[in-house]
Amino acid sequence: SSRNTEVQSADGVAVLEDCIGFSLTKTISKVEEKLKKGVLPDCQDDDLIPRAGNEMGAEAQIRFLKAKLRVTQEDLANVVFECRKKDDENQNLETRLKNTEEENTRLQRTISLQQSQTEKYKMLSQEANKKTEGLQQEVTALGKVLQ
C-alpha cells in the first residue's frame, strides 16, 4: 500500500508539473539552500514552519519540510486520483447520454412512422365504411325490386 501511495504521489507531482510547469525538485533545492545559509523560507508566515522553527537547526527544518512535502504530495496524489475518477465517470455518463439520445431519436422516428400509418389506416377504414354504406343501399334497393 505504501508503494502504491509513492506511485500515486509521483504521479500527482508529474501531473502538477505538466499542468503548471512547477518543479518540486527545484523548489526543494531552493528551500534547502536557504536553510543551509540560515535563512528561513519566505512562507514562514504561513505557519509552514511552526514558531519553534526559529530554534530548529537547519537539518531539523529540512526534515520537517520534507515530511510536510510528503503529506502535501499524498494529498495532491489523492486529488489527482479523485479527478481522474470523476473524469472517467463523466466519460461514462457522456457515453450513456449519447446512447440515450440516439435511442430517443430512433424511437421518435418509429413513433412518427406509426402515426403516419395510423392516419393511412383511418382513411382506408373511412373509405371502406362509405363503400359498405353504398353496397347496403344497393342491397336494399335490389331487395325491393325482387319483391
The pLDDT tens digits for 66-108 are 999 999 999 999 999 999 999 999 999 999 999 999 999 999 9
Closest CA to 43 of 23, 35, 9: 35
Say if residues 61 and 49 touch (Cβ distance below 8 Å): yes
Residue 29's CB is within 10 A of a number of other CB atoms, namely 11
Residue-level pLDDT at 40: 55
In angstroms, the CA 84 to CA 11 distance is: 12
Q: Name the average pLDDT for the chain.
A: 80
Closest CA to 77 of 27, 11, 147: 11
Q: Give the pTM.
A: 0.46
